[in-house]
Amino acid sequence: MIRKELMTVVRQREIAYRIFELTARGSIVGDMEPGQFVHIRPADSFEPLLRRPISIAAIEPEKKEFTMLYRTEGRGTEVLAEKKSGDALDVLGPLGNGFPVHEAKRKALLVGGGIGVPPLYELARQLSTLGVETVHVLGFDSADSVFYESEFSAIGKTYVATVDGTRGTAGFVTHVLEGIPDDFDTYYSCGPAPMLKAVEQLYPGKTGYLSYEQRMGCGIGACFACVCKSNDARDYVKVCSDGPVFPAGVVAG
Amino acid sequence: MSRLAVKLPGLDLKNPIMPASGCFGFGREFANLYDLSQLGAIMIKATTREARFGNPTPRVAETASGMLNAIGLQNPGLEKVLTEELPFLEQFDVPIIANVAGSQMEDYIEVAEVISRAPNVRAVELNISCPNVKEGGIAFGTDPDTAKALTEAVKAVSAVPVYVKLSPNVTDIVQIAEAVEAGGADGLTMINTLLGMRLDHKTGKPILANRTGGLSGPAVKPVALRMVYEVRKRTVLPIIGMGGISAPEDVIDFLSAGADAVAVGTANFINPFICPELIQNLPGKLDELGAESVSDLTGRSHLYELTDHRA
């Protein structure tokens, strides 16, 4: 059930270069699943006008709190970064279809790139609770933009890659993936489309779920801003309402 | 009659609020959020004869107090709209206004003839103002003779009243309004989006894959209001006004300028509950203004006659 709620900011802090961690409290937390996203109105004004889609990084239903991580990229996220404890947060959500957590049986591989890393955190927590071993491969630009390495490490084996080589493996997540065993039954990935394509091509025989990033308008499937060509019977899919998580192979391109 | 009700050709509106075409799909997404029977009407997404995928992405870009879009009339085509989308909407007690688009005059005629006979379609909205397609669209809405001829041709085949959606991308919108009135239009809807651009500051590259797109949202409201006001002075046709409506005050402004009802576009993307919220808040707004009904406010701005003191 999609709802619009004025939630309350519990806390916000910058945890890495331009990466903010915001926790908010409200009743729609009870409906959230890993891999879904929320659509945030940064300010009650015409500037910025549109909502900002941000993935859900952690869900605490008993406290009615959720955490989202985002990178400041422009006017909307800069305004959002100014929110303080006690401020109201206009949230539409939860939106989209999340990761199917029950698909993984014994061991799962989680691959995230940059701001695609956050939704994998709640997924890792839930898989771990279900008794599934998780291996995490996280890619970032540079050491100063790495976040949640210790949080992921507390759940399972975690590898970090940075493009400039200032932390972990130098290069992309694929450089790490090529050097680790593929003894997992299911993989989950979120990040830029070229990364998702590379991950998909590495594991053609495995069950995989990919979460896509795309410029969005409404977030509920009405505006047709975030369409992608599809490889299945559908002419196209909308990332916001048909996704953002799709089984590997569905999104063309 | 309820104080919010408005009667227009083909349309018995419970209230003057309806979602604008292209901002509401075919209603399915919003039907999950609220009862669509609350709405005055629904202007469904433009329908063309064949299915259209639309333009490449990026298709939207935010601008100061507005947004640009270049979706490109993506829709499943006439056949699927008739067999899947319109039947879905039949469960709601709400009149449907079918937005009709095409590349050539024959497309408009064929789609209008067929779609106007669907049981819940109470009016056709001729889309002669889409700025985002290579052929057709806006080309029909910027030349008065073409606009008139198309209106006549569609009027001849339509089973329901025909409203013409006007483009603001013209020097004199009144001229187009008068032309479609002469062509037999039953009403006007206005305005479509204003052509615009946004560039990447670093590279100079246009953000939209289509390069240009249609501007909508609060940024366009003053332009829309002025155009409704000018057209109201020169035609008796009913006007469904739109352009940046997101608050009850905006609804009042459009009614005052001469609109008989209003459509809400971009605001649906920011607050999907905006239409029912406006409907709920409108009676209180009428009370504040001492108005008994919506129609008491229609055109009241024209009481302030301009004493021409300009050079």
Averaged over A21-41, what is the pLDDT? 98
Is A47 an 8 Å CB contact of chain B? yes
Look at residues B95, B88, B76, B89 and name the one whose alpha carbon lies nearest to residue B9.
Answer: B95
CATH architecture of residue range(s) A101-213: 3-Layer(aba) Sandwich (3.40)
Q: What pLDDT, on the 0 to 100 scale, is given for residue B310? A: 59
End-to-end CA distance of chain A: 31
Flag whether pLDDT at A253 surpasses 80. no
Query: Helices B105-115 and B144-157, interaxial angle, to 10°?
Result: 30
Q: What pLDDT, on the 0 to 100 scale, is given for residue B132? A: 72
| Mean pLDDT (chain B, rounded) | 95
Say what percent of chain B tops pLDDT 70.
Answer: 96
Flag whether pLDDT at B1 surpasses 60. no
Averaged over B231-242, what is the pLDDT? 97
pLDDT digits (tens, 9 = 90+) for B21-35: 999 999 999 999 999
Q: Which residues of A touch B266 (CB under 8 A)?
A: 49
For residue B13, count CB atoms less than 10 angstroms from its CB and return exposed for 0-12, middle for 13-18, buried for 19 or more. Answer: buried
End-to-end CA distance of chain B: 47
In three-state secondary structure terms, B270 is helix
In three-state secondary structure terms, B57 is coil
- Residue B130 among the catalytic residues: yes
Q: What pLDDT, on the 0 to 100 scale, is given for residue A32? A: 98
Say what percent of chain B tops pLDDT 90.
Answer: 92
Q: Which residues of B touch A41 (CB under 8 A)?
A: 270
B55 DSSP 8-state letter: P
Reported confidence tier of residue A229, pLDDT bands at 50, 70, 90: very high
Written in H, E and C, the secondary structure of chain A is CCEEEEEEEEEEEEEECCEEEEEEECHHHHHCCCCCEEEEECCCCCCCCCCEEEECCEEEHHHCEEEEEEECCCHHHHHHCCCCCCCEEEEEEEECECCCHHHCCCEEEEEEEHHHCHHHHHHHHHHHHCCCEEEEEEEECCHHHCCCHHHHHCCCCEEEEECCCCCCEECCHHHHHCCCCCCCCEEEEECCHHHHHHHHHHCCCCEEEEECCCCCCCCCCCCCCCEEEECCCCCEEECCCCCEEEECCCECC
pLDDT digits (tens, 9 = 90+) for A124-176: 999 999 999 999 999 999 999 999 999 999 999 999 999 999 999 999 999 99
| Mean pLDDT (chain A, rounded) | 96
Is A214 an 8 Å CB contact of chain B? yes
pLDDT digits (tens, 9 = 90+) for A202-212: 999 999 999 99
B60 with A215: Cβ contact below 8 A:
yes
Count other C-beta atoms under 10 Å from residue A154's C-beta. 12
For residues B144 and B176, the answer to whether their CB atoms sit within 8 Å is yes
Please state, in angstroms and rounded to a whole number, the distance separating the CA atoms of residues A252 and B25.
23
* Per-residue b or e along B70-102, where b marks 16 or more CB atoms closer than 10 Å to that residue's CB: bbbbbbbebeebbeebbeebeebebbbbbbbbb
Q: How far is B217 from chain A (nearest CA, A)?
A: 8
Instruction: Give the CATH number of domain A3-95; options: 2.40.30.10, 2.40.360.20, 2.40.40.20, 3.40.50.720.
Output: 2.40.30.10
pLDDT digits (tens, 9 = 90+) for B65-112: 999 999 999 999 999 999 999 999 999 999 999 999 999 999 999 999
Q: What pLDDT, on the 0 to 100 scale, is given for residue B129? A: 83
Count other C-beta atoms under 10 Å from residue A189's C-beta. 27
Which residue in the list B44, B130, B138, B194 is annotated as catalytic?
B130
Please state, in angstroms and rounded to a whole number, the distance separating the CA atoms of residues B61 and B216.
11
Is the dihedral angle over the CA atoms A249, B70, B161, B278 positive or is it negative? positive
pLDDT digits (tens, 9 = 90+) for B141-172: 899 999 999 999 999 999 999 999 999 999 99
Flag whether pLDDT at B219 surpasses 60. yes
Q: What pLDDT, on the 0 to 100 scale, is given for residue A33? A: 97
pLDDT digits (tens, 9 = 90+) for A180-207: 999 999 999 999 999 999 999 999 999 9
Please state, in angstroms and rounded to a whole number, the distance separating the CA atoms of residues B48 and B126.
11
Is A40 an 8 Å CB contact of chain B? no
Q: Strands, DSSP E only, in B70-110? A: 96-100
pLDDT digits (tens, 9 = 90+) for B265-293: 999 999 999 999 999 999 999 999 999 99
CA atoms within 13 A on the CB side of A38: 31
Averaged over B1-17, what is the pLDDT? 94
Q: What pLDDT, on the 0 to 100 scale, is given for residue B306? A: 67
Flag whether pLDDT at A122 surpasses 70. yes
Reported confidence tier of residue B138, pLDDT bands at 50, 70, 90: confident
Please state, in angstroms and rounded to a whole number, the distance separating the CA atoms of residues B179 and B175.
6
Q: What pLDDT, on the 0 to 100 scale, is given for residue B311? A: 54
Averaged over B234-246, what is the pLDDT? 97
A222 with B29: Cβ contact below 8 A:
yes
| CATH 2.40.30.10 domain extents, chain A | 3-95
Look at residues B246, B250, B17, B262 and name the one whose alpha carbon lies nearest to residue A44.
Answer: B246
Averaged over A226-250, what is the pLDDT? 94
In three-state secondary structure terms, B19 is strand
Look at residues A86, A114, A91 and name the one whose alpha carbon lies nearest to residue A19.
Answer: A114
Q: What pLDDT, on the 0 to 100 scale, is given for residue A175? A: 95
Flag whether pLDDT at A123 surpasses 60. yes
For residues B83 and B66, the answer to whether their CB atoms sit within 8 Å is no
Is the dihedral angle over the CA atoms A80, A81, A82, A83 positive or is it negative? positive
pTM above 0.80, yes or no: yes
| CATH 3.40.50.80 domain extents, chain A | 101-213
Reported confidence tier of residue B139, pLDDT bands at 50, 70, 90: confident
Q: How far is A21 from chain B (nearest CA, A)?
A: 23
For residues A221 and A241, the answer to whether their CB atoms sit within 8 Å is yes
> What part of A 91-110 touches B (C-beta under 8 Å)?
92
Q: What pLDDT, on the 0 to 100 scale, is given for residue A1? A: 87
Reported confidence tier of residue A235, pLDDT bands at 50, 70, 90: confident
User: In the sheet that A207-211 helps form, which strands lie side by side, from edge to edge?
Assistant: A169-170, A158-162, A133-140, A107-113, A186-190, A207-211, A245-247
pLDDT digits (tens, 9 = 90+) for A64-116: 999 999 999 999 999 999 999 999 999 999 999 999 999 999 999 999 999 99
CA atoms within 13 A on the CB side of B305: 1
A207: left (phi over 0), alpha (psi -120 to 50) or beta: beta
Residue A210: φ, ψ to 5°: -120, 135
